């Protein structure tokens, strides 16, 4: 890792922005199976970015840990 400190909150904010961008992405002029593949990929992209964006991050001794509440009972 470079000497530049990792800004965890900025990293998580970028993931939140990516999730929002996927959610508002326009559908290209494709049809049939291609259209469904695009929709499926967009849903997967949104889910992945949103999960990471909602994480609590910590960096301890060079180890990045993302704590993610998949139960929806987070207090934060």
Contact 63, 25 (CB under 8 A): no
pTM of the model: 0.74
The 3-state DSSP class for residue 60 equals strand
Confidence of residue 46 (pLDDT cuts 50, 70, 90): very high
Give the chain's domain count. Answer: 1
- What are the tens digits of pLDDT across the range 55-70? 999 999 989 999 999 8
Q: Is residue 73 part of a domain?
A: no
Q: Is residue 26 part of a domain?
A: yes
Is residue 49 classed exposed, middle or buried when 0-12, 13-18 and 19+ CB atoms within 10 A define those classes? buried
Return mean pLDDT, the chain.
87
**Domain span including residue 23:** 8-67
Q: Is residue 33 part of a domain?
A: yes
Distance CA 24, CA 18 (A): 10
């Amino acid at each position: 890792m470079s000497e530049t400190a990792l800004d965890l909150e900025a990293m998580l904010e970028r993931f939140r922005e990516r999730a929002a961008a996927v959610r508002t992405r326009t559908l290209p002029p494709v049809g049939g199976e291609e259209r469904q593949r695009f929709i499926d990929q967009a849903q997967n992209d949104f889910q992945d970015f949103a999960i990471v964006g909602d994480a609590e991050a910590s960096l301890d001794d060079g180890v990045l840990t993302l704590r993610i509440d998949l139960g929806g009972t987070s207090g934060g």
